Structure 1
Amino acid sequence: MGWLKLRISEWVLIFYFAYVAAIWPWFRDRPHLSYQVLVELIAVIALLISLARIAEGRFAKTVSITRDWLPLLLTLAAFREMEWLLPGRFDHHYESAWIQWDRLILDYWHIRAAIESFNGAIPFYFEFCYLLVYALGAFCIALLYIERQRAVVDRFLTLFLVGTLSAYALFPYFPSQPPRILFPDVAPPAVTSWVRHLNLWILSKATIHVGVFPSAHVSEAFSAAWAMFLLLPNKKIYGWGLLLYAISVSVATVYGRYHYAVDVIAGFGISLIAGGLCVFFKHRGDVSSA
């Protein structure tokens, strides 16, 4: 049967969409939330089972490759789904507490001044790192293809999705607005560039507004790093490179006022779930030999 041949990463996706459908009754005060979460769950299950069944036929190779990439599109759908849980109003009690840490880090500890001390080069770097997160999953899968490790793509997606979707799953419980909107006068970046304008444009057109805690940018970046350490153990340069990148994204989210510092800490904590799975898989001997 097709449903028995779903990949682990596909089960992770189904579990996530089922989770959102299950919590719906507890968020009936959210004005945009209705039966659409059930419709989306059914659609995702039908799509994944259909592909699993088609994969048994003559289009097996094409469908198999499609299944390598489809979870990234469904992750975008999972992200957009969270907008249905947008509250009717924000009371800002979370943000009022969180902003104190940002003032301490960026102003009192002079982190913002240090970042901007080399004119525009370092701010540009951090903003560019933030921008590249949108392509991180695709980059890692392409890297596994290049390294002839397509066989472990499902393992990567499992770890990547756990780190990413776990962050999404917490958004409804912490309705909040980003510091760049709620506290525009608190440590705003003094250096602007085309890449910052692009980031702000993307956020104005394509982001969700239900909450910023925890930072999914941070959780998925660190989760990707942990996954590459596991899956390419003999080429740790990829893992170390992604770890450096994840740290850069963490700095970028706070410096750029996209997130509060506590969002970053929580995002890193979420990524440790994926890190724990890496340890589990390694102890099972379920790792690549690359």
Structure 2
Amino acid sequence: MINSSQCFRFRKSEWLIIAFFTYIVGLSPFFPNRPNLRDQPLLVLAVVVAILASLARVQSTGHARLIGIIRDWLPIALTLVAFREMELFLPSHFIIHYETQWLEQDRLLLETWHLRASIEALGKFIPTYLEFCYLLVYGLPFYCVSMLYIKRRRETIDFFLSIYFVGTLGAYALFPFFPSRPPRLLFPSVDPPRITTWVREFNLYVLHKGTIHVGVFPSAHASSAFAAAWAMFFLFPQRKVIGGTLLAYAISVSIAAIYGRYHYTADVIAGFGVSLIAGLVCIAWGRYGRASSLAAP
């Protein structure tokens, strides 16, 4: 006979997803001036819990391998739901307060310290590379989970996703408190890239069609990329090239975010700060045993 605890045994990464959506439900009453925000977070939470609980129950009664594989990938899709839910906190109007202060840091970095000129010194090569890095962030968790499959480390996927979610959802959780608009929209004539590539045009198209507009602080692009790097450093301590490559990639994403005017420098710094929390979780987790010994259901 299967008891209730076996039926509803959530993974740690699933608990983080549930905790995030619960947090949004609890946060909503404190933002009564957001016109799009009503009871949607409660409905989203109920649906997410129902889906995850159903999968956990089915896995405990049969089809364990198939459902287990679904549970490896589904939480990544739920981060998109979390991202879209943040749009409910869109204010009726923006007060340009944070952005004007953040812009000064950007001008210092891009103009005074010649970051933009350095990037464009070789023509389209570096701008194209940076724009590709920015674009590929959306596929980063899929890449990392696929690598864990290829390396026969599937039992560590729950650990990786947990660290990745601390970095990603941690950034999302702060969006409602810092309503802001990106420099490419608010200050389009201030230090824009002087080289336009087809990758940049595609990035702008994706953002126009699919992004949210509630805020850009902190940068989830930066926080998620660095969090993924910290997790892979932990999972492959003897193969530091894996984590090192992702760390170099995360730095490239951060530079691309500033150079492309997708984010302010302050956003990227804050995103890196959020990722450090994920790194601390890695360290704390290590004190209780290697992640490879913590197999997910």
Q: What TM-score do you get using the length of structure 2 for normalisation?
A: 0.96
Q: Which of residues 53, 58, 61 is equivalent to 1:49?
A: 53
Matching of residue 261 in structure 1 with residue 265 in structure 2? yes
Stretch deviating more after TM superposition (76-85 or 55-64): 55-64
The Cα of 1:281 is off from its aligned counterpart by 1.4
Report % sequence identity.
Answer: 56
Matching of residue 182 in structure 1 with residue 186 in structure 2? yes
Task: Indicate the residue corresponding to 1:38 in structure 2.
Answer: 42
Matching of residue 228 in structure 1 with residue 239 in structure 2? no
* C-alpha separation in 2, matches of 1:127 and 1:142: 23
Task: Indicate the residue corresponding to 2:17 in structure 1.
Answer: 13
* C-alpha separation in 2, matches of 1:64 and 1:226: 25
The Cα of 1:3 is off from its aligned counterpart by 6.0
Residue correspondence of structure 1 range 89-100 to structure 2 within 5 A: 89-100=93-104
For the 8 Å contact 1:230–1:288, the answer to whether it is kept is no
* C-alpha separation in 1, matches of 2:280 and 2:68: 28
* C-alpha separation in 2, matches of 1:5 and 1:287: 18
* C-alpha separation in 2, matches of 1:288 and 1:61: 18
Matching of residue 274 in structure 1 with residue 278 in structure 2? yes
Task: Indicate the residue corresponding to 1:132 in structure 2.
Answer: 136
The Cα of 1:58 is off from its aligned counterpart by 2.4
Superposition CA RMSD, Å: 1.0
The Cα of 1:287 is off from its aligned counterpart by 2.8
Aligned length: 289
1:256-281 deviations in whole A, cap 9, x for unaligned?
Answer: 00000000000000001110011111
* C-alpha separation in 2, matches of 1:77 and 1:186: 33
The Cα of 1:4 is off from its aligned counterpart by 4.3
Matching of residue 283 in structure 1 with residue 296 in structure 2? no
* C-alpha separation in 2, matches of 1:288 and 1:67: 18
Structure 2: give runs of 5+ residues left out of the alignment: none
* C-alpha separation in 2, matches of 1:175 and 1:247: 25
For the 8 Å contact 1:54–1:63, the answer to whether it is kept is yes
* C-alpha separation in 2, matches of 1:234 and 1:104: 39
* C-alpha separation in 1, matches of 2:272 and 2:62: 43
Stretch deviating more after TM superposition (77-86 or 1-10): 1-10
Structure 1: give runs of 5+ residues left out of the alignment: none
The Cα of 1:108 is off from its aligned counterpart by 1.1
For the 8 Å contact 2:7–2:60, the answer to whether it is kept is no
SS in 2 for 1:248: helix
Matching of residue 193 in structure 1 with residue 194 in structure 2? no
* C-alpha separation in 2, matches of 1:273 and 1:135: 22
Q: What TM-score do you get using the length of structure 1 for normalisation?
A: 0.98
The Cα of 1:286 is off from its aligned counterpart by 2.4
The Cα of 1:59 is off from its aligned counterpart by 1.3
